[in-house]
Amino acid sequence: ETQTQTLGFQAEVKQLLKLMIHSLYSHKEIFLRELISNASDALDKLRFEALAKPELLAGGSDLAITIDADNKAHTVTIVDNGIGMSRQEAIEHLGTIAKSGTSDFLAQLSGDQKKDAQLIGQFGVGFYSSFIVAEKVEVFSRRAGLEAGAGVHWTSAADGEFTVSDVELPERGTRIVLHLKEGDHEFADQYRIRSLVRKYSDHIAFPVRMPKPAPYKAEDEEKKDDSVVAEVKPEDAKPEFETVNAAQALWARPRTELKDEEYKEFYRHVTHDFTDPLAWSHGKVEGKKEYTSLLYIPSRAPYDLWHREGARGLKLYVRRVFIMDDAEQFLPLYLRFVKGVVDSADLPLNISREMLQQDPAIETMKTGLARRVLDMLAKMAKDEPEKYATFWKEFGTVMKEGPAEDHTNRERIAKLLRFSSTLADKPEADVSLEEYVGRMKEGQKEIYYVIADSFGAAKSSPHLEVLRKKGIEVLLLSDRVDEWLVDHLREFDGKQLKNVARGELDFAAIQSEDEKKAQEELSKGHTELVERMKKALTDQVSEVRVTARLSDSPACLVLGQYDMGAQMRRIMEAAGQ
Ligand code: ADP
Ligand code: MG
């Protein structure tokens, strides 16, 4: 080994390492999932790069992952013959360049270990999770296409530094050796690893191989006849390996063959999210464009849901060959929380992000996939309202962007929206527009809403006084996107959405004859007062009128029918001023 270099981890990486080791001790086994996941990514990348450069496969096209455990040396070794890393790549990817979003992520941590463990899982700790169980990690890697002498040996004890040196490696790919911590020797057990591999990698599309277990031999029998034992397993014989997973892309298998647990595990593989998804939808579309998709609804919003640069999109495969992560062209922005895979049968293998943007076929797929998600949500809302409530709590605000972005599905999205209303007067948004319409009073033609900066302000708006008295339900809107939403939604089921603080309310429909008469009398009797107020407020208001909308407050300000965008915070009670 030559050219040894010791480098410090980047500050963010250091922080992440420390946090991880301390908050993930109850999820120790995930290190194996992460390392298998990386090996599988490396094989995917090799296969993809080899499309253009078949010579990269020189030295073997049997792509596989091999895992072995040594209970005497207390090591676990994970090998793949994938893309590998050059020395420079090893330095960057395993220590000096934090993943994008790391600092945002770190800023979100609360210090509460349990919560942070959840978040950290969602962030995808990846390679560094090795240090949850290992006191020292060694990586031997050689990039496909480079010569044997260009291998790199990376090693660290997670003490703030790592070392790299040149090493001769006869084969391309990566070998990772974990030297287990004193308390974690249990992971060097073949059976333990085997069961974890089954649990975590059945859906991995490449074979995961492990040594064949030695034929069973009772302890006392062995003791009786040493010579037999020696014959069965000579100390230095190479063990025979066998494939321990299904080694088939999960989405390519028939739905009927798949268990819920397998779908959930695949979700973890795609997202690194510890918690189970709320729902998934797996299907194949045949016809002009043929593709398979497996889409998941997570049960919590990711930390970067509101970041412009936040990762979103699906994993794209073409005929089972991995093409790219975060292909965002397949879903509209308001469905950016959806995770999963799309596998096209007819896109070219060399398709690039730029091409995806221009290809009209992608637009068709996008429409189809959005429809699939909306159908899945509609089904959840109908059959599992509790789950839907969770969904709404996490992603409702994003869904509200839908009507503006996706005109074709406006009605479908509208049915999925949930609001607070004066019926229950609680902040939980659980009223659908369909329910609202079903409860509309005889003669009521519009869907009433009030909009304010907070739920409390909406709920105590003076504009609600008479409507409350009459038992007319009003939607209480206080999300920042609500104004934008109602502007684009405009109506539902043929009924206009009506801001009760804007223009005149159509009370005729909901007033009794007597009330109408009393109202007219009232107006006539106050013409003089109205005139005087108009004069006094010439510069402040455009009109003064006697209204039926108040019952307790003496006066309120309303917006003109066509006034733009002003918010409820401008409402003031004239009383006492
Ligand atoms: P992620 O997989 O989310 O990118 P990881 O921390 O798991 O993050 O891995 C960091 C990077 O290290 C990977 O993106 C990849 O570039 C590199 N890497 C890790 N394991 C391997 C491997 N087995 N073969 C090749 N590159 C790897
Ligand atoms: Mg990874």
Q: How far apart are CA 81 and CA 78, in angstroms?
A: 10
Atom of ligand 1 nearest to the CA of 124: 3
The amino acid that residue 309 corresponds to is E
Whether the per-residue pLDDT at 550 is higher than 90: the answer is no
**What's 559's DSSP letter?**
B
508/367 Cα distance (integer angstroms): 43
Residues whose CB is under 5 A from ligand 2 (ion)?
Answer: 38, 126
**Residue with token string 């995770």:** 339
Q: How far apart are CA 449 and CA 422, in angstroms?
A: 10
For ligand 1, atom 16, the nearest C-alpha belongs to: 93
Q: Tell me which residue has its CA closest to atom 14 in ligand 1.
A: 93
Dist CA 539 CA 528 (whole Å): 19
Residue 291 CA to residue 372 CA, distance in Å, equals 13
Phi, psi of 552 (to 5 degrees): -105, -45
Residue 127 CA to ligand 1 centre (angstroms): 6
Distance 507 CA to ligand 2 centre (A): 61
Length of the chain: 577
Residue whose CA is at the smallest distance from ligand 1 atom 23: 39
Q: Is 60 left (phi over 0), alpha (psi -120 to 50) or beta?
A: left
**Residues with Cβ within 8 Å of residue 339, at least 6 apart in sequence:** 267, 270, 271, 277, 295, 296, 298, 314
Distance CA 200, CA 274 (A): 12
Ligand 1 atom closest to the Cα of residue 126 is 7
The DSSP bridge pattern shows strands 475-477 and 420-421 to be antiparallel
Residue-level pLDDT at 16: 85
Residues 6+ apart with CB under 8 A from 134: 31, 178, 179, 180, 181, 184
Is the pLDDT at 574 greater than 50, yes or no? no
Write 554-560 long-range contacts (CB < 8 A, 24+).
556/462, 556/463, 558/463, 558/501, 558/502, 558/503, 559/499, 559/501, 559/502, 559/503, 560/502, 560/503
Of the bound ligands, which one is closest to the alpha carbon of residue 37?
2
φ/ψ region of 359 (left if φ > 0, alpha if ψ in -120 to 50, else beta) reads beta
CB atoms within 10 A of CB 50: 19
Q: Whose CA is nearest to atom 10 of ligand 1?
A: 93
Report CA(540)–ligand 1 centroid distance (Å). 64
Tell me the CA–centroid distance for residue 100 and ligand 1, in Å. Answer: 13
Integer Cα distance of 343 and 244 in angstroms: 25
Ligand 1, CB within 6 Å, residue ranges: 34, 38-39, 41-42, 80, 82-85, 93-94, 124, 126-128, 174
Cα-flanking dihedrals φ and ψ of residue 569, to 5°?
Answer: -60, -15
Range 176-187 average pLDDT: 96
Q: What's the Cα-to-Cα distance from 547 to each of 242, 253, 443, rounded to whole Å?
A: 83, 66, 19
User: What is the pLDDT averaged over residues 358-373?
Assistant: 92
Residue 566: pLDDT band (50, 70, 90) is very low
CA of 107 from ligand 1 middle (Å) equals 23
The pLDDT value recorded for residue 509 is: 64
What residue's CA is closest to ligand 1, atom 18?
Answer: 38
Q: Which amino acid type is present at position 524?
A: K
Q: What percent of the chain has pLDDT over 70?
A: 89
Ligand 1 centroid from CA 84, angstroms = 9
Ligand 2 center to residue 37 CA distance, Å? 6
Lowest mean pLDDT among 104-108, 138-142, 164-168: 104-108
Give the residue, by CA position, lying nearest to ligand 1 atom 17. Answer: 93
Instruction: Give me 316's structure tokens.
Output: 């794209």
- What are the pLDDT digits (tens) for 146-168? 999 999 999 999 999 999 999 99
Which of 361-369's residues contact partners 24+ apart within 8 Å by CB, and which partners?
361/289, 362/329, 362/330, 364/288, 364/289, 365/289, 365/291, 365/330, 366/329, 366/330, 366/331, 366/332, 367/408, 368/285, 368/289, 369/293, 369/295, 369/314, 369/330, 369/331, 369/342
Say if residue 211's pLDDT is above 70. yes
Q: Of all residues in the chain, what percent carry a pLDDT higher than 90?
A: 59
Tell me the ligand closest to 99's alpha carbon.
1
DSSP state of 215: P
- Is the pLDDT score of 512 beyond 90? no
pLDDT in tens, 216-241: 665 555 555 555 554 555 555 677 99
pLDDT at 518 over 90: no
Proximal ligand: closest to the CA of 175: 1
pLDDT digits (tens, 9 = 90+) for 377-397: 999 999 999 999 999 999 999
Q: CA-based angle 114:115:120, to the nearest 5?
A: 100
Q: How far is the CA of 35 from the centre of ligand 2 (A)?
A: 7
Probe target for ligand 1 pocket from 32, 76, 93, with the most ligand atoms within 8 Å of CB: 93
DSSP string computed for 3-63: EEEEEEPPHHHHHHHHHHHHH-GGGTTHHHHHHHHHHHHHHHHHHHHHHH-GGGGTT----
Q: Is the pTM of this model over 0.90?
A: no
Q: Ligand 2 mean position to 69 CA, how many Å?
A: 21
Question: How far is 163 from 154, CA to CA, in rounded Å?
Answer: 6
Protein residue closest via CA to atom 1 of ligand 1: 126
Nearest ligand to the CA atom of 130: 1
Distance 130 CA to ligand 1 centre (A): 12
358, two tokens: 């221009």
Decide: 516 and 495 in contact? Cβ < 8 Å: no
Give residue 398's pLDDT: 95
